[in-house]
């Protein structure tokens, strides 16, 4: 196994440290991403709502209530991180 001289070892260690720091920052940044109220409305309309009566951000979800084209009441919980409709 080849050995690295001291400056190369230091350079390799610094490069590895930078990679670890950048990947941790990327995860933190992604965790803070949230869909907007407008995006939540678009998702609700795609799911069948034609009239939105109420939309509220509650912790990690958008709670959307409204009516379908048949005038039936409908409520949805939408994951704020990825826009997935929750059960």
pLDDT digits (tens, 9 = 90+) for 11-67: 666 666 666 765 555 444 445 679 999 999 999 999 999 999 999 999 999 999 999
User: For residue 38, what pLDDT is reported?
Assistant: 96
Sheet strands (E) in 34-72: 49-58, 61-68
Distance, CA of 78 to CA of 83 (rounded, Å): 6
Q: Model pTM?
A: 0.63
| Cβ proximity of 49 and 63 under 8 Å | no
User: For residue 28, what pLDDT is reported?
Assistant: 42
Distance, CA of 1 to CA of 29 (rounded, Å): 39
User: For residue 7, what pLDDT is reported?
Assistant: 72
The number of residues making up the chain comes to 87
| Cβ proximity of 83 and 35 under 8 Å | yes
């Amino acid at each position: 196994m080849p050995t690295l001289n001291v400056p190369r070892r230091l350079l390799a260690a610094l490069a590895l440290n930078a990679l670890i720091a950048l990947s941790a920052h990327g995860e933190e940044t992604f965790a803070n991403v949230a869909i907007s109220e407008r995006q939540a409305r678009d998702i609700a309309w795609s799911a069948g709502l034609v009239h939105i009566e109420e939309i509220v951000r509650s912790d990690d979800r958008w709670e959307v209530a409204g009516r379908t084209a048949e005038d039936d009441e409908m409520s949805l919980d939408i994951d704020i991180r990825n826009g997935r409709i929750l059960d």
